Amino acid sequence: MFKLALKSLFSRKKIVLLVFISLSLSVLLFLAVQRSSQISRDSFSRTISGTDLIVGSRTGSLNLLLYSVFHMGNAVNNIGYEEYLALAEDEQVEWAVPISLGDSHRGYRVVGTNRLYFDAFQYGAHQNLEVGSGELNFESPFDAVIGANVAKDLGYKPGDSVILSHGVGKFTLQQHDNMPFEIQSVLKPTGTAVDNGVYVPLEGITAIHIGWETGMQTRTVTVEHALTRNLEPDSITAVYLGLKQRTAAIRMQRDINNSEGEPLTAIMPGAALYDLWRIMGSAETIMSGLAAFVVLIGLVSLLTSQLAVLEQRRREMALFRSIGATPGDLFKILFYESLIVTAAGCISGVILLYGLQAAAQPLFRANGLYAPWTLLSLMEWALLAVTMIAGVLGGLVPAFAAYRRSLSDGMTIRS
């Protein structure tokens, strides 16, 4: 009888195909909303760990988190370099890493920092950065260390030289082509925003901006000339802090936020992420709700198509009755039909999900998101189960209609 249901569906290819497509797409949407939020949560959570505070100029905590860690958006203001020096000297601070943003290389963000960054920065479950190839030289102002994606996408290896661009973006940027940097090493992949970074010493950032004091290039200086200058920066974008005692973070955050000097903002990455989830969470709920409705619409279209052809199938049902089919048999045939279409929609939705993930992989990478090839999560199985249950319940409607009708029709159609 299962085969019979299949053949019957095949005889209505066009309509069934359309319903199948709408179901597949709606299941895809349902799953994709779930998976993309999972991917962004996982990636954001794993990007930074072991950093107790991030200090930047006065701004919203989310904004500071996004630009300083995820390289999303731009800093409104910088903070004085002396602020960094003061923080580094603070007796509660174990380590302080300066971060200077604002330049780029072919779409990848340039991060000015110091040697300590590579030892202190941690991601995931307190994992340290590791060097994949080359030597971790970071002493000369024109040394550069690049993330794994940058090396892979642009085909760079240690020894190559790179020219940084003023500002961020992909096109029509002015080049700092008077001072090339030499790649010293490539970091191992981390699956975080680190992979998309080009890391150079703060002194290098200062050097390439000699002659740019007005924000525009007014004169060109040579490398030799630059090296004779004091390359200590005036300002930086943010500071990552590791504290001797993590419990001191809250008090220190308050102290920094209330300090009388330069207006600063300190955030605890974990707490800021929590804020982010809260905001994203409600958006996700809305999205999931909408996706669920789309699935419902898909199922209703299945129901509609089944009920619509039921009238045309009365003759068929009557024939089945004449050769010994019980009303229950007809119920089963109709029920199997709905079940087959729903199951096929679910399966193809899952296949499309992985296809979409493959297609979106470059986008994830470019944004420093980590989208591993995982099997269906428990949540995704649950969504599929909900869809199947709804499909089964929906399938009962035309099945029951066929049952009822065959009781009154019998072998002949009574109108």
The residue ranges that bind another protein (CB under 8 A) are 1, 4, 7-8, 10-11, 315-316, 319-329, 410-412
Minimum CB separation from another protein for residue 337, in Å? 12
- Rounded Cα distance, 24 and 330, in Å: 26
Q: Which of 100, 103, 53, 61 is CA-nearest to residue 80?
A: 100
Mark 143-163 as b/e (b = at least 16 C-beta within 10 Å): bbbbbbbbbebeebebeeebe
Q: Which is nearer to another protein, 322 or 374 (CB)?
A: 322
Q: Which is nearer to another protein, 270 or 328 (CB)?
A: 328
Q: Which is nearer to another protein, 304 or 322 (CB)?
A: 322
Minimum CB separation from another protein for residue 6, in Å? 10
Minimum CB separation from another protein for residue 9, in Å? 9
Give Cα 341 distance to the centre of its chain: 32
Evaluated on CA atoms 267, 270, 271, 272, the torsion sign reads positive
Q: Which is nearer to another protein, 270 or 410 (CB)?
A: 410
Q: Which is nearer to another protein, 8 or 357 (CB)?
A: 8
Q: Which is nearer to another protein, 7 or 219 (CB)?
A: 7
Minimum CB separation from another protein for residue 387, in Å? 27
- Rounded Cα distance, 337 and 306, in Å: 9
- Name 327's Cβ contacts closer than 8 Å, sequence gap at least 6: 321, 402, 403, 406, 407
Minimum CB separation from another protein for residue 302, in Å? 19
**CB 401 within 8 Å of CB 337:** no
Q: Which of 145, 147, 132, 137 is CA-nearest to residue 194?
A: 147
Give Cα 290 distance to the centre of its chain: 20
Minimum CB separation from another protein for residue 13, in Å? 10
